Structure formats: structure tokens, C-alpha cells
A = this chain, B = another copy of it.
Amino acid sequence: MNVDETAPQKGTVTQRAIERIKAMIAEGRLEPGQRLPTERDLATQLGISRSSMREAIRALTVLGVLEARHGSGIYVTQLEAGDLLETFGVVADLSRGPRLVELLEVRRILESTATALAAARITPDQLAEVEKHLTAMNATDDPEEILAHDLAFHREIAAAAGNETMAAILEGLSSRTFRARVWRGYQEEGAFARTRREHAAIHRALVAHDPEAARAAAAAHVGEVEEWLRAQLGG
């Protein structure tokens, strides 16, 4: 009748180990920043081999839950938004076709709201930082540099919105390779001027602390790219 009490036997042992560790963290038995036992000890505790335990640790590492330091030990991350949402970039990097449009639609929704929130909450210091990237972006012709400042421009705004989780998601949706893939074609059509105009409009709304104007400007900004990409796929 298999009254085996210690082995639920569902899935692979590695998968079970992953769940066990996740559960330990969820239940608070492992605090953020805390150090775990050694791989060898953990393997013994869960009754599995070190190889399997290593796979489980590696999995939780890429998910941003654990962090392995060579020679030191394994630690629980701070479990902050940035740690856990880093994997969001993978989604953006591996999505293609219609999925890209959907991602831009999500970004438009979140970015417009974040920009609206930023308009209401942004501090002079943060605003100065935004302006720094805005002027730097308009002062060069190097596409690489423009892209970098463009990213920073929106990142500062997202940070000013005061929701780290939203900022982390937007960061993932704007990951380097994702933007590079879409931006490349978009900017080749001489969209630089339009982009500058839209960025200026967003900036004006931030200065005026006008949330609705900021929301509209940000939505239009992302929407432009969205429509362009939609047309690319349609034709």
C-alpha cells in the first residue's frame, strides 16, 4: 500500500528540493540575507545527492531567490523586486512576433501609470537626474549612447513613481537586447525627432506636476513604437 511517510514521490527529487527550499523561505524559516547550510549538508538533510541539490540551488539562483558566493556559502537574497524580477528580461529577450506587441502594450499601460505617479511625486533632485539624461540624449548622435540615456531617462521616472515592483517590471520590459531589437528598425526611419519631441512632452508634464498630461504623453510615446511594430508584423 506504500505507506512511505517520508517520500511523497511527486516529480523529480530536484524539483522537490526546490519546493522545499522555497517553502522554507515562504514560511519564514529562512530570512532574507541569511546564509544556508553548505551544499553537502543540505543534500544530506533532504536525503539527496549533492548533484541534485546543486541543480536545485542553481535553479533558485537564476530565479533570484538564492545567491551563491564561491568559497563563502549560499545566501538568501534580499528578496526585493529587483532580485526576483530580473528574469523578466528573459521573457522580453525571447519573445517574438505578436508577443512583442503584447509586451509593448503591457509596457504602455504600466509606463503611462508610472509616469503619471512620477509627475505627482517627483522631487527636484529626481527631476534634475531626469533632465541630465534628457539633455545628454539630445547632445549626441551615437545610437548606443542615445539608447543608454533613453533607458536611464525612463528608469529615473519609474523610480520616482515610488513603486519598486513596477520599476523592476518596466526595467525587464526595457532590457537592453529587447530595446535594441525593436529600436533598431524604429529609429532607422528617422524617428529621432519624434522621440525627442515625445520625451520633451513627458518632461514638461513632470515639471508641471501634471499627472494626466504625463500619462497621456507616456502612453503616446510607447504607443508610437507599438503601432510601428504592429504595422511591421501586419505587412
Q: Which residues of A contact B (CB under 8 A)?
A: 14, 18, 22, 25-26, 51, 54-56, 58-59, 61-63, 65, 79-81, 84-85, 87-88, 90-91, 93-96, 99, 102-103, 105-106, 109-110, 113, 163-166, 169, 177
Closest to A173 in B: B165
Given the interface pairs A26-B177, A84-B95, the reply to whether A102 lies near B58 with Cβ below 8 Å is no
In the assembled complex, how far is the CB of residue A147 from the closest CB belonging to chain B, in whole angstroms?
A: 18
Which among A88, A109, A110, A177 has the highest number of chain B CB atoms within 10 Å?
A109
A62→B102 contact, CB < 8 A: no
Identical chains in the assembly: 2
In the assembled complex, how far is the CB of residue A203 from the closest CB belonging to chain B, in whole angstroms?
A: 23
> Within the complex, which residue of B14, B90, B113 is in contact with A22, where a contact is CB–CB below 8 Å?
B90
B22→A93 contact, CB < 8 A: yes
> Within the complex, which residue of B65, B80, B95, B105 is in contact with A90, where a contact is CB–CB below 8 Å?
B65
Per the bound structure, the CA–CA distance linking A166 and B142 in Å amounts to 34
List 29 contacting pairs A-B, 8 Å CB cutoff, sorted by A: A14-B58, A18-B62, A22-B90, A25-B94, A26-B177, A51-B54, A55-B58, A58-B58, A58-B59, A59-B62, A62-B62, A63-B90, A65-B94, A79-B94, A79-B95, A81-B91, A81-B99, A84-B91, A84-B95, A95-B165, A102-B165, A105-B163, A105-B165, A106-B110, A106-B165, A106-B166, A106-B169, A109-B113, A110-B110
Question: B residues within 8 A CB of A81?
Answer: 91, 99, 102
Main secondary structure of the interface of A (DSSP, over half): helix
Which among A18, A54, A85, A164 has the highest number of chain B CB atoms within 10 Å?
A54
Per the bound structure, the CA–CA distance linking A61 and B63 in Å amounts to 11
Question: B residues within 8 A CB of A18?
Answer: 62
Question: B residues within 8 A CB of A93?
Answer: 22, 26
In the assembled complex, how far is the CB of residue A233 from the closest CB belonging to chain B, in whole angstroms?
A: 15
Question: B residues within 8 A CB of A59?
Answer: 58-59, 61-62
A105→B166 contact, CB < 8 A: yes
In the assembled complex, how far is the CB of residue A26 from the closest CB belonging to chain B, in whole angstroms?
A: 6
In the assembled complex, how far is the CB of residue A215 from the closest CB belonging to chain B, in whole angstroms?
A: 11
Per the bound structure, the CA–CA distance linking A34 and B80 in Å amounts to 35
> Within the complex, which residue of B25, B87, B99 is in contact with A165, where a contact is CB–CB below 8 Å?
B99
Question: B residues within 8 A CB of A79?
Answer: 94-96, 99
